[in-house]
Amino acid sequence: MQPLIELTGVNFGYGAFNVLEDIDLHLHPGQFVGLVGPSGAGKTSLLKLVLDLLTPGEGRIERVRSNLRVTYVPQIETVDWSFPVTAEEVVLMGLDHRQNIWPWPRRSERERARAILDQLEIGQLAERHIRDLSGGQQQRVFLARALVAEPEILVLDEPTTGVDVRSAENIFHWLTHLNQDGMTILLTTHDLNMAAAHVPWVVCLNRRIMAQGPPQEIFTESILEDAYKGEFIVIRQNDMIFVQQKPHPHGLSEVLPDPVEGGLPNHDSREKSAKPDPALKES
Amino acid sequence: MDVLFAPFQYEFFRNGAIAAVLVGGLCAMIGVYIVLRGMSFIGHGLSHAVFGGAVVAFILQFNFYVGAVSWGFVAALLINQTVRKTTISADAAIGVVTTASFALGVALISRYRRFSQSFDAALFGNVLGVTPTDIAVIVFVTLAATFMLFFFYKQLLFTTFNSEVAQVYGIPTFWIETWFALILAGVIIAAVQIMGVTMIGAALVVPPITIRLLTDSFHRLIIYSTILGAVTGLIGMYLSFYVDVSSGASIVLLQSALFCVTLVYVSRVRSRSRLVPTPVYGPT
């Protein structure tokens, strides 16, 4: 099967500093690919190369068609939360604006946006300003914007950053659902356990591709330690994989300063110096 | 009623009032996008930049409007591209490009002192100098800006919200930003005669930030900012007429006073609403 997007021998850097080296990556129709790697590994740069937002220094990036529909859910930190738009207005941004030249949306467009918000269980929040939503709800609004465009490839940058465990689980659940319906998905994540549980194809990146394959093959101590330059524990139970970085070998006493004058007070000294607040006593 | 209608017996006031209403509304409408892009200083900077262009046009005996608009357009493009292609922030790019251009104007004025007098009006605004040609230019720029903002409303909204992501969704962000830079240069040139170079920045920024305090809706922000800009333009003209101060200063002072009143009102409303528990909406 011909890949939708194919990167061959791609190098990319900012100035003299090389961020990505010799990247070979094929994104086939219906694939669900997760990019993992430490901060600064080049994950977002690789996404932006796929999205045609950056140009490679060397190598080739080929798309199966020039009009390939690709949508993007950026990192939540890049969003201007004070911008005066409602959840529904954000979702409507995802529609093809060439089909409707008027500034206001058609009824069919609003219905489509509402249907997707309902599907993601935030339909009742459509009129709310984006700042007034929780992290998980905000993430779903941007997912809805990507979905309303009916993409062939959905690209997400850290979709679970800043959301609680339950919301993160829900987001991966929806993505799995979309992938089962045939959508091609490429995402980056720092959440190795979510990736191990939900992503069928994992690419381990640290400036170059260290390894790629199913999570059972990629989440091994040796590959992770090689990519992250740290020690990892990988536990396998039934079909589940749990990944945990080993804690720092030093005890806290070796890291914190001694409780001398001017230093941090230790627990005992805090207890001794604590006095009852007179205001509290009066009340 | 005489106070309201008496100034209209003078042609200069009629011309000035038409120009002030259009320029006030136009600046406020364009200003919404400027404020939301975090480029509030661009109006102030570009108005200085076109001053340099106007001086060059005068020396080279070009048409004033052609020279100044081209200069402002190039300056706006330079700022946009510097921000997009480098790590230089918007305020730094605006500072460099526009101050250099203004400095060129000042240098040329000090070299050719003979026409420095006529540039006082450009610096501080002079309603007495509004000619039918100026009004024609203002009407043309108002129509062009309204047309662009109407038919490219959604594209401009998405580009303003997040230019990089808009590009992924197929919005031609480069062309949208280029058109916007051209319209902005046109607006500044159209506003120079009424507002003056030194006051345009405030006319672009103050109405949108005043309305922004009152609404979280983008389309309401555009509509009400435009109305506020137009109304304060007209009232500012009356103030200018009766108090005998420059038109640009009276409009900006009025807008600033309204901003202060709104800020106090909103702060008081918010401090009261803090006592009411915040509702929780749906599942997180």
pLDDT tier, B120 (very low <50, low <70, confident <90, very high otherwise): low
Q: What is the pLDDT of residues A88-140, one digit of tens each?
A: 999 999 997 777 888 888 999 999 999 999 988 899 999 999 999 988 899 99
Helix (H, G, I), strand (E, B) or coil at A211: strand
Taken as a whole, chain A contains a residue count of 283
Percent of chain A at pLDDT above 90?
58
Q: Which of A93, A142, A154 best probes binding to B when mutated, by most B CB atoms within 10 angstroms?
A: A93
Q: Quick check: B281 pLDDT over 60?
A: no
pLDDT tier, B101 (very low <50, low <70, confident <90, very high otherwise): confident
Domain assignment present for A48: no
CA atoms within 13 A on the CB side of A105: 18
Secondary-structure breakdown of chain B: helix, strand, coil percentages, each rounded to the nearest 5: 80, 0, 20
Tell me the average pLDDT across B75-79. Answer: 87
Residue A184 β-bridge partners = A153
Tell me whether residues A70 and B36 touch, CB distance under 8 A.
no
Closest CB from B153, B161, B219 relative to A80: B161
Tell me whether residues A124 and B284 touch, CB distance under 8 A.
no
What's the pLDDT score for residue B284? 42
Tell me whether residues B282 and A121 touch, CB distance under 8 A.
yes
Tell me whether residues A84 and B150 touch, CB distance under 8 A.
no
Distance CA B44, CA B72 (A): 12
Taken as a whole, chain B contains a residue count of 284
- For residue B54, give the nearest of B20, B94, B102 by alpha carbon: B102
Which residue is associated with the tokens 């941004």? A93
Distance CA A158, CA A239 (A): 25
B283 and A CB contact within 8 Å = yes
- A chain contacts of residue B171, beta-carbon cutoff 8 Å: 97
Nearest CA distance, B176 vs chain A (angstrom): 13
Q: Which of A51, A77, A85 best probes binding to B when mutated, by most B CB atoms within 10 angstroms?
A: A85
Stretches in chain A below the pLDDT threshold 70: 248-283
Nearest CA distance, B242 vs chain A (angstrom): 38
- A50 → chain B, closest CA residue: B168
Distance CA A50, CA A187 (A): 11
What's the pLDDT score for residue A271? 43
What's the pLDDT score for residue A260? 52
The pair of three-digit structure tokens given for residue B164, joined into one six-digit string: 């990089």
What's the pLDDT score for residue B102? 80
- For residue A44, give the nearest of A219, A187, A202, A226 by alpha carbon: A187
Question: What residues have CB less than 8 Å from A223, skipping those under 6 apart?
Answer: A204, A210, A211
The C-alpha angle with vertex B72 and arms to B190 and B21, in degrees rounded to 5, equals: 20
* A206 to A20, A231, B110, B220: CA distances (angstroms): 8, 16, 58, 47
- B chain contacts of residue A89, beta-carbon cutoff 8 Å: 157, 218
B282 and A CB contact within 8 Å = yes
Q: Quick check: B119 pLDDT over 70?
A: no
Domain assignment present for A191: no
Distance CA B142, CA A50 (A): 41
Helix (H, G, I), strand (E, B) or coil at A212: strand
Domain assignment present for A96: yes
C-beta atoms surrounding A63 within 10 Å: 16
- B chain contacts of residue A70, beta-carbon cutoff 8 Å: 168
| Cβ-contact A44, A31 below 8 angstroms | no
B215 and A CB contact within 8 Å = yes
Closest CB from B165, B221, B281 relative to A128: B281
Q: Quick check: B128 pLDDT over 80?
A: no
Provide the 8-state DSSP code for A32. Answer: E
Q: What is the pLDDT of residues B12-50, one digit of tens each?
A: 888 889 999 999 999 999 999 999 988 877 877 887 788
| Cβ-contact B243, B250 below 8 angstroms | yes
Which residue is associated with the tokens 């526009």? B98
Task: Please identify among residues 27-56 of chain B the ones whose CB lies closer than 8 Å to any CB of chain A.
Answer: 36
Domain assignment present for A241: no
Distance CA B160, CA A102 (A): 18
Domain of A114 in residue numbering reads as 78-150
Distance CA B119, CA B203 (A): 20
Q: Which of A44, A67, A79, A80 best probes binding to B when mutated, by most B CB atoms within 10 angstroms?
A: A80
Query: Mind listing the domains of chain B with CATH numbers?
Result: 2-267 (1.10.3470.10)
Q: Is B200 exposed, middle or buried (0-12, 13-18, 19+ CB in 10 A)?
A: buried
Tell me whether residues A137 and B212 touch, CB distance under 8 A.
no
Q: Please enumerate residues of A whose Cβ is less than 8 A from a Cβ of B.
A: 51-53, 70-72, 74, 78-80, 83-86, 89-90, 92-94, 96-98, 101, 103, 121-122, 124-125, 128-129, 131-137, 149, 155, 164, 166-167
Name the pTM for this structure: 0.82
- A chain contacts of residue B161, beta-carbon cutoff 8 Å: 80, 83, 85, 90, 93
What's the pLDDT score for residue B118? 57
Q: What is the tally of structural domains in chain A?
A: 1
Q: What is the pLDDT of residues B147-203, one digit of tens each?
A: 999 999 999 999 999 999 999 999 999 899 889 888 988 898 888 777 777 788 888
Tell me whether residues B166 and A128 touch, CB distance under 8 A.
no
B7 vs B172: which has the higher pLDDT:
B172
Domain assignment present for A125: yes
* B206 to B37, B201, B245: CA distances (angstroms): 15, 9, 20
Residue A209 β-bridge partners = A205
B157 and A CB contact within 8 Å = yes
Residue A203 β-bridge partners = A35, A212
The pair of three-digit structure tokens given for residue B89, joined into one six-digit string: 């922030």
Number of inter-chain CB pairs under 8 A, A vs B: 81
Please report how the helices B173-195 and B247-273 are oriented relative to each other, as an axis angle in degrees rounded to 10: 120
Domain assignment present for A176: no
Written as one letter, the residue type at B28 is A
Tell me whether residues B36 and A83 touch, CB distance under 8 A.
yes
B170 and A CB contact within 8 Å = yes
Torsion over CA: B102, B105, B111, B116 (sign): negative
Domain assignment present for A95: yes
Given phi > 0 = left and psi -120 to 50 = alpha, else beta, which region is A269?
alpha
Tell me whether residues A93 and B169 touch, CB distance under 8 A.
yes
C-beta atoms surrounding A249 within 10 Å: 7
- A chain contacts of residue B153, beta-carbon cutoff 8 Å: 103
Distance CA A35, CA A147 (A): 21
Residue A25 β-bridge partners = A7
What's the pLDDT score for residue B81? 82
Please report how the helices B11-36 and B132-151 are oriented relative to each other, as an axis angle in degrees rounded to 10: 30
- B146 → chain A, closest CA residue: A103
Q: Quick check: B117 pLDDT over 70?
A: no
- A chain contacts of residue B221, beta-carbon cutoff 8 Å: 84
Domain assignment present for A267: no
What ipTM did this prediction achieve? 0.81
- A chain contacts of residue B164, beta-carbon cutoff 8 Å: 53, 74
